[in-house]
């Protein structure tokens, strides 16, 4: 039966190849778009799922009450302490990221090393293919390479036993012995590396300058704990916090330092949560659950469009085949046979679309991946589960479409009132086209609003200039970098200080203003007397900071530190600080902070939007040397378009010290506003692409229904023309229905789009208005596109000779 239906299907397709080509094209576009969305979501949700112990692996994170970020760095001895004190903790793994210069085929390349405890290979499922774990445990300077790096560094020979030299501070001072080769870490891993070394060989742990007690002062590495059979994660987190406080608190009391237990509250983050639930954690690779939800919604809507468009195009064909179905019934075909025919034909179409999708992937996969923001690649060998599961979805879609076609064509097959059949079929098509127009108008409205908000974000006066600012990190406490930058003719001014723009509220202090008895959570920024000039910040009242004198610092313990930390030092604040502090005359007002020298306000500068516009403005305080030692960063204002000149100078400087010039990428920081709003720009790109898909599918549907409507009204058109109706009158008659559908879709789409955009804009503290013209423009654009699409067919029907239509009557 299948082959007989397939033979008939091919015969009909050849006979009506234009209609079938349009049908397959619309369906294929939708299924291709859905497949790429499906691949992205499947891969994102699969991150870290290959670890067999993932349900019992947790990363230790610290909540900082003075920052919007959580910190994953813990103290080097903390893991062993937990293993000794808490029976629930079976194993611990410390991870430290470190960069070393290595020579590869005559060039120096900066490689990222992951320094770990040997338990890394027993807790996580990273498999050794050469070597053994015992050798790695017994070799402090042992290194395990990924398969691809082993082949790259030692082609056509075994890497085991080979020595790798690495540079640190420009000199060869690290030698690693290859003790193993591991499988390449999957792309679906939140931990990424090609070089794994023993953490005991790290500069920090192996240095004689740092005793055991000193290692409790400096948060150093990420810590993962393997705690199987834990039923109460919150209780275990509390135990971790208690152990840390009990260890750290006596160290502070010995130095008469203040101790705030709130700064040492720990949580456990499950390995399953690390990739998609770390928005407030600084890590090299993380995903966005919200974006996955958006992609999933886009994929589902695309499938709905494919379904409705396919049915729209086939209802007319099935109506024309009514006589064929009646003949089948006379010859003994049951309703079940007719149903099987619909389902099998639909399955064939769906499988053809599946084949087109698989064949087209190598051609357009990279393009669509760029639109989605995906770096995943499809492999038949490793991704067969994705392909098979998607094939099952396509087969299910084919069955569903076949069932719906049968239900919607039932009257045309089994009911003899032909007029009622045509009317019902037209009504069904109108409903489906209306759904597509509803989506089209809604999407256009959303795109226009996203663009409007991004324009608002870009054009808002931030109160400072950042586009011409280049941040340069100093190598040490000397002024060599500053002198180098000062010699550049394109450098206009230089300030030693922190970067002004922050991705999230951070570096927050709880300050007290004795004059008004108020406590204010304030963002502090370390900068010198040139900071305002470099960033073009306007001073509203008072004066600038006094120039910092080099004599105020001295070398202590190899580090340049301030001589006197007890003296009062001067600061400037923004207008928001003055408002929240309730200061009438802020100049000369005193600010205090626990266990820190008092501060005196000498100037007030204008409010700055130095945070993404998701966040409300924070009170700010600007001063020099808040930390007791000079900040190793310079903010440089250069002539417009000469950022590369700064980069070249720094690269040449590094090469003169024996470093590769490309390390300047690590030292020179430029600002990209698009990167700050990466999610929004990615959403805009996705909506743009999705709108094109909806546009193409909707146009195909409009063409199909215009053909059907003009065909069903051909005799009415002929009679009207015989009675003197002009082509323009006929054109208006045929198009007014489309205008009505667009109007109904517009009325329904506007409140939905308004609600969706209102919810989206809630994530911004500062936002544009939801203007009425956005929705009006979206409706007008859809109206023009729709009328242009259908008018060529309706015009063709309007100018048809009525004799040709009525001659058979």
DSSP state letters, 32-85 = HHHHHHHHHHHHHHTTTTT-TTGGGEEEEEEE-TTSSSEE-EE-TTHHHHHHHH
In whole angstroms, give the CA distance from residue 484 to residue 356: 58
pLDDT digits (tens, 9 = 90+) for 615-658: 899 999 998 877 666 677 889 998 887 888 888 888 888 778 77
Q: According to the model, what pLDDT value does residue 205 have?
A: 65
Query: Could you identify the residue written with the tokens 């834990």?
Result: 230
Buried b (16+ CB within 10 A) or exposed e, 752-784: ebbeebeebbeebebbbebeeebbeebbeebbe
Is residue 663 within 8 A of residue 461, CB to CB? The reply is no
Band (420; pLDDT cuts 50, 70, 90): very low
* Neighbouring C-beta atoms of residue 234, cutoff 10 Å: 8
Two structure tokens written together for 160: 């085991």
pLDDT digits (tens, 9 = 90+) for 240-273: 999 988 888 887 766 555 677 878 889 999 999 9
Residue 451 sits at φ, ψ, to 5 deg, of -60, -40
Q: According to the model, what pLDDT value does residue 419 have?
A: 46
Is residue 621 within 8 A of residue 523, CB to CB? The reply is yes
In whole angstroms, give the CA distance from residue 279 to residue 120: 25
Residue 260, CA distances (Å) to 71, 335, 364 in order: 16, 78, 56
In whole angstroms, give the CA distance from residue 675 to residue 532: 24
Strands 171-182 and 142-146 come out as: parallel
| Number of residues in the chain | 809
Q: Is the pLDDT of residue 804 over 60?
A: no
Q: Is the pLDDT of residue 80 over 50?
A: yes
Query: Measured on CA atoms in the order 18, 20, 22, 24, is the torsion positive or negative?
Result: negative
Secondary structure class of 294 (helix, strand, coil): helix
Q: What is the mean pLDDT of the segment spanning 500-523?
A: 88
Contacts 24+ apart (CB under 8 A), 657-664: 657/170, 657/475, 658/170, 658/171, 659/101, 659/108, 659/170, 660/101, 660/107, 660/108, 660/109, 660/110, 662/110, 663/101, 663/110
In whole angstroms, give the CA distance from residue 733 to residue 797: 11
Range with lowest mean pLDDT among 95-109, 137-151, 268-282, 508-522 = 95-109
Q: What is the mean pLDDT of the segment spanning 182-200?
A: 91
In whole angstroms, give the CA distance from residue 656 to residue 652: 6
Residue 295 sits at φ, ψ, to 5 deg, of -60, -40
Task: DSSP for 470-491, please give it.
Answer: EEEE-SSSSSHHHHHHHT-TTE
Domain edges within the chain = 1-47+288-416, 54-274, 418-461+677-809, 469-676
* DSSP assigned state of 413: H
Q: According to the model, what pLDDT value does residue 92 have?
A: 94
Two structure tokens written together for 84: 């000794």
* DSSP assigned state of 552: G
pLDDT digits (tens, 9 = 90+) for 345-387: 888 888 888 998 899 888 888 888 888 877 788 888 888 899 9
Two structure tokens written together for 106: 């005559």
Q: Is the pLDDT of residue 732 over 90?
A: no
Q: Is the pLDDT of residue 438 over 60?
A: yes
The Cα diameter of the chain in Å comes to 108
- Those residues with Cβ within 8 angstroms of residue 655's Cβ, 6 or more apart along the chain or in another chain: 661
Give the chain's end-to-end CA distance (angstroms, integer).
Answer: 40
Q: According to the model, what pLDDT value does residue 204 have?
A: 65
Q: According to the model, what pLDDT value does residue 418 have?
A: 47
């Amino acid at each position: 039966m299948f082959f007989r239906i397939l033979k008939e299907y091919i015969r009909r397709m050849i006979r009506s190849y234009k209609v079938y080509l349009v049908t397959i094209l619309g369906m294929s576009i939708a299924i291709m778009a859905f497949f790429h969305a499906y691949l992205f979501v499947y891969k994102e949700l699969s991150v870290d799922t290959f670890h067999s112990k993932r349900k019992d692996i947790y990363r230790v994170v610290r909540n900082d009450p003075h920052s919007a970020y959580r910190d994953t760095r813990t103290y080097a001895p903390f893991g062993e302490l937990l293993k000794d004190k808490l029976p629930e903790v079976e194993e611990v793994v410390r991870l430290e990221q470190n960069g070393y210069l290595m020579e590869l085929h005559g060039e120096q390349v900066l490689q990222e090393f992951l320094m770990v405890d040997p338990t890394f290979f027993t807790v996580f499922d990273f498999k050794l293919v050469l070597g053994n774990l015992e050798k790695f445990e017994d070799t402090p300077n042992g290194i395990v390479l990924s398969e691809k790096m082993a082949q790259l560094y030692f082609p056509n020979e075994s890497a085991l036993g080979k020595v790798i030299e690495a540079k640190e501070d420009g000199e060869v001072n690290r030698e690693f012995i290859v003790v193993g080769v591991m499988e390449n870490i999957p792309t679906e891993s939140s931990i990424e590396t090609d070089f794994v070394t023993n953490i005991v060989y790290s500069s920090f742990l192996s240095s004689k300058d740092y005793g055991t007690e000193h290692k409790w002062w400096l948060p150093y590495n990420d810590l993962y704990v393997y705690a199987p059979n834990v039923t109460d994660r919150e209780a275990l987190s509390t135990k971790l916090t208690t152990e840390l406080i009990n260890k750290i608190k006596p160290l502070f009391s010995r130095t008469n330092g203040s101790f705030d237990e709130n700064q040492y509250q720990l949580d456990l983050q499950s390995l399953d949560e690390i990739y998609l639930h770390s928005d407030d954690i600084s890590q090299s690779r993380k995903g966005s659950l919200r974006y996955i939800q958006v992609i999933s919604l886009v994929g589902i809507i695309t499938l709905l469009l494919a379904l409705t468009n396919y049915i729209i195009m086939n209802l007319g064909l099935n109506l024309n085949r009514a006589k064929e179905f009646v003949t089948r019934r006379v010859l003994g075909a049951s309703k079940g046979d007719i149903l099987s025919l619909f389902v099998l034909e639909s399955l064939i179409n769906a499988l053809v679309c599946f084949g087109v999708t698989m064949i087209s992937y190598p051609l357009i996969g990279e393009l669509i991946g760029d639109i989605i923001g995906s770096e995943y690649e499809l492999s038949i060998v490793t991704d067969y589960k994705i392909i098979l599961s998607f094939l099952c979805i396509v087969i299910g879609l084919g069955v569903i479409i076949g069932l719906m076609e049968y239900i919607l064509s039932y009257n045309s097959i089994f009911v003899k009132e032909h007029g009622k059949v045509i009317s019902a079929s037209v009504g069904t098509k109108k409903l489906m086209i209306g759904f597509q127009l509803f989506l089209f108008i809604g999407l256009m409205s959303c795109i226009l609003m996203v663009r409007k908000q991004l324009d608002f974000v870009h054009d808002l006066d931030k109160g400072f200039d950042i586009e011409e600012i280049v941040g340069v990190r100093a190598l040490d406490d000397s002024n060599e970098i500053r002198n180098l930058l000062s010699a550049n003719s394109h450098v206009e001014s230089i300030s030693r200080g922190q970067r002004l723009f922050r991705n999230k509220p951070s570096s927050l202090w709880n300050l007290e203003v004795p004059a008004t008895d108020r406590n204010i959570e304030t963002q502090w920024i370390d900068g010198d007397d040139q900071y305002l000039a470099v960033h073009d910040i306007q001073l509203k009242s008072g004066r600038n900071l006094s120039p910092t004198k080099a004599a105020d610092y001295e070398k202590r313990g190899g580090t340049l530190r301030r001589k006197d930390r007890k003296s009062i030092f001067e600061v400037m604040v923004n207008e928001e600080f003055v408002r929240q502090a309730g200061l009438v005359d802020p100049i000369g007002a005193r600010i205090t902070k626990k266990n820190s020298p008092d501060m005196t306000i000498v100037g007030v500068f204008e409010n700055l939007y130095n945070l993404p516009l998701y966040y409300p403005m924070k009170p700010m305080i600007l001063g020099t040397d808040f930390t007791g030692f000079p900040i190793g960063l310079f903010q440089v204002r250069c002539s417009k378009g000469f950022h590369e000149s700064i980069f070249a100078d720094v690269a040449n400087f590094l090469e003169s010290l024996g470093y590769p010039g490309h390390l300047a990428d690590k030292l020179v920081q430029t600002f990209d506003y698009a990167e700050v709003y990466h999610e929004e720009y990615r959403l805009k790109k996705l909506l743009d692409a999705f709108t094109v898909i909806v546009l193409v599918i909707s146009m195909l549907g409009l063409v199909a229904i215009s053909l059907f409507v003009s065909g069903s009204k051909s005799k009415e058109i002929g009679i009207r023309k015989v009675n003197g109706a002009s082509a323009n009158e006929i054109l208006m008659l045929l198009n007014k229905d489309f205008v009505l559908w667009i109007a109904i879709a517009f009325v329904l789409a506007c409140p939905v789009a308004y609600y969706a955009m209102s919810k989206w804009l809630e994530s911004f503290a500062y936002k544009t208005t939801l203007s009425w013209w956005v929705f009006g423009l979206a409706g007008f654009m859809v109206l023009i596109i729709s009328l242009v699409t259908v008018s060529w067919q309706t015009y063709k029907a309007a100018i048809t000779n009525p004799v040709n239509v009525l001659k058979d009557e």
